[in-house]
Amino acid sequence: MSVIYILLAISIIVAIVFFIAFLLAVRKGQYDDSYTPSVRMLFEDELVTTNKETLTTEND
């Protein structure tokens, strides 16, 4: 029966630690940007430019 009390105490401590971590993340502004993730898939990736000289030397 005492094991239940120990597990209950440990689970409450873990819950408090996660709640404090959540509050710190909110205060630092981690969740402020809600627009960019929704349109990120619409942005094009940066194009990689290749040099024609390197392509011709690799093919030879």
pLDDT value of residue 21: 97
Residues sharing a CB contact under 8 Å with residue 25, sequence separation 6 or more, in sequence order: 31
Residue 35 pLDDT: 77
Q: Give 11's pLDDT tier (boundaries 50, 70, 90).
A: very high
Q: Which two tokens stand for residue 22?
A: 């959540």
Which of the four pLDDT bands, split at 50, 70 and 90, describes residue 60?
low
- When the pLDDT of each residue in the chain is averaged and rounded to a whole number, the result is 81
Amino acid at 45: D
pLDDT tens digit sequence for 25-54: 999 988 887 777 777 777 776 655 666 655
pTM for the model stands at 0.54
Give the number of C-alpha atoms closer than 13 A to the C-alpha of residue 42, restricted to the C-beta side.
5
Domain parsing of the chain, residue ranges: 1-36
